[in-house]
């Protein structure tokens, strides 16, 4: 039994599409990087890991996050210069079937994972980006996991236009878009500009706001900011999730967000990264992160 552990985002979904198309995968599990870093889940021996940090129990590992770099030998591929983990996998297998069937999907995943969007892309989402928004639709964890597995199957078997017309996909997209528009009406009350960083602090916000809000909101609300810092309650009790992103419309952060967040037990890309902090110690760490971003 080969288990594939992959990230919960769209890149993780597409990575699973590619791997399960060429490997004998019997089960797909979804997790977050910190869950592997903190040994919060059991990684089965001989498993496959994609778009997540390395674990010694895996038989194959694929990733592109700069903060994942390590000196151990492994089977698979790692390229911090690749725009997505899906691209790393696509190039590693160099498989005619993958090239013929999934070239457009991988190209779109590169764009989504690097946030190479125009203002119009954000305000009028379409194509695979629109599909990626459906990942925020399910309300419960079990519903979310089931939908992710369903989406993997749909991406392997149906063209994009057919997937976007699936009733469940349509419902989740409509739900996400409605929530995003609703969130924009109240997010200003939880947002501020500190130096050149737009801070969105949702620790005392209504529970629905954290999942409903768009991560691009800070760049629309504070167009001159260089970066955003987003704080929200973690699913892990007693912790908060902190994420940092470069303003996708300016691209002048001048800092390595992944390296900064790695010092606090997290990681990610140079332009976007995150970490999990103990709630009681979060303010001090957040002040350090802000000082580093504004230095």
**Domain final residue pick, 87, 116, 145:** 116
Residue 107 lies in a domain: yes
Residue 170 lies in a domain: no
- Residues 97, 193 within the same domain: no
Residue 96 lies in a domain: yes
Which domain CATH number covers 218?
Answer: 3.10.310.30
Domain count, the chain: 2
Element spanning 177, H or E:
helix 167-184
Contacts of 147 (CB under 8 A, 6+ apart): 134, 135, 137, 138, 168, 172
**Domain final residue pick, 81, 100, 116:** 116
- Residues 290, 198 within the same domain: yes
Residue 288 lies in a domain: yes
- Residues 108, 210 within the same domain: no
Tokens of 128: 């695979």
Query: CA–CA distance from 136 to each of 69, 74, 75, 229 (Å)?
Result: 29, 33, 32, 20
* Residue 34 pLDDT: 82
Mean pLDDT by 10 residues, the chain (295 residues): 93 98 96 85 94 93 85 87 97 96 98 93 95 90 94 97 97 93 91 96 89 88 95 91 94 90 88 92 95 93
Element spanning 161, H or E:
helix 160-163
Residue 140 lies in a domain: no
* Residue 68 pLDDT: 78
Residue 125 lies in a domain: no
* Residue 71 pLDDT: 62
Euclidean distance between CA atoms 67 and 52, whole angstroms: 10
- Residues 13, 99 within the same domain: yes
**Domain final residue pick, 92, 116, 140:** 116
Does the pTM surpass 0.75? The reply is yes
Domain that holds residue 267: 187-294
Contacts of 49 (CB under 8 A, 6+ apart): 4, 5, 6, 36, 43, 55, 58, 60, 61, 62, 63
* Of 4, 3, 9, residue with least CA distance to 268: 9
Residue 135 lies in a domain: no
Residue 14 lies in a domain: yes
Report CA Rg, the chain. Answer: 19
Contacts of 14 (CB under 8 A, 6+ apart): 84, 86, 102, 105, 106, 109, 155
**Rounded-to-5 percentages of helix, strand, coil across the chain:** 45, 20, 35
Percent of the chain scored above 90 by pLDDT? 76
Euclidean distance between CA atoms 129 and 167, whole angstroms: 18
* Residue 198 pLDDT: 97
**Sign (positive or negative) of CA dihedral 17, 19, 23, 26:** negative
């Amino acid at each position: 039994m080969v288990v594939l552990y992959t990230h919960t985002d769209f890149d993780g979904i597409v990575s699973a599409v590619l791997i399960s198309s060429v490997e004998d995968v019997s089960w797909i599990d979804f997790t977050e990087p910190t869950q592997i870093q903190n040994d919060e889940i059991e990684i089965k021996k001989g498993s496959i890991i994609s778009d997540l940090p390395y674990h010694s129990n895996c038989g194959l590992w694929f990733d592109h996050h700069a903060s994942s770099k390590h000196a151990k030998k492994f089977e698979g591929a790692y390229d911090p210069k690749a725009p997505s983990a899906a691209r790393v996998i696509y190039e590693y297998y160099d498989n005619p079937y993958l090239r013929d069937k999934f070239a457009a999907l991988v190209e779109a995943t590169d764009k989504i994972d690097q946030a190479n969007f125009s203002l119009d892309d954000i305000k009028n989402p379409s194509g695979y980006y629109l599909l990626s928004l459906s990942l925020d639709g399910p309300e419960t964890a079990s519903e979310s996991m089931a939908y992710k597995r369903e989406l993997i199957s749909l991406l392997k078997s149906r063209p994009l236009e057919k997937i976007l017309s699936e009733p469940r996909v349509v419902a989740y997209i409509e739900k996400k878009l409605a929530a995003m528009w609703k969130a924009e009406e109240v997010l200003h009350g939880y947002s501020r500009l500190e130096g050149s960083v737009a801070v969105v602090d949702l620790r005392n916000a209504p529970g629905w706001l954290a999942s409903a809000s768009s991560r691009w909101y800070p760049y629309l609300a504070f167009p001159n900011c260089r970066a955003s810092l987003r704080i929200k309650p973690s699913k892990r009790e007693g912790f908060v999730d902190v994420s940092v992103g470069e303003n996708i419309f300016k691209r002048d952060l001048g800092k390595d967000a992944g390296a900064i967040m790695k010092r606090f037990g997290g990681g990610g890309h140079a332009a976007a990264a995150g970490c999990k902090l103990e709630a009681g110690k979060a303010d001090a760490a957040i002040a350090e992160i802000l000082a580093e971003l504004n230095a």
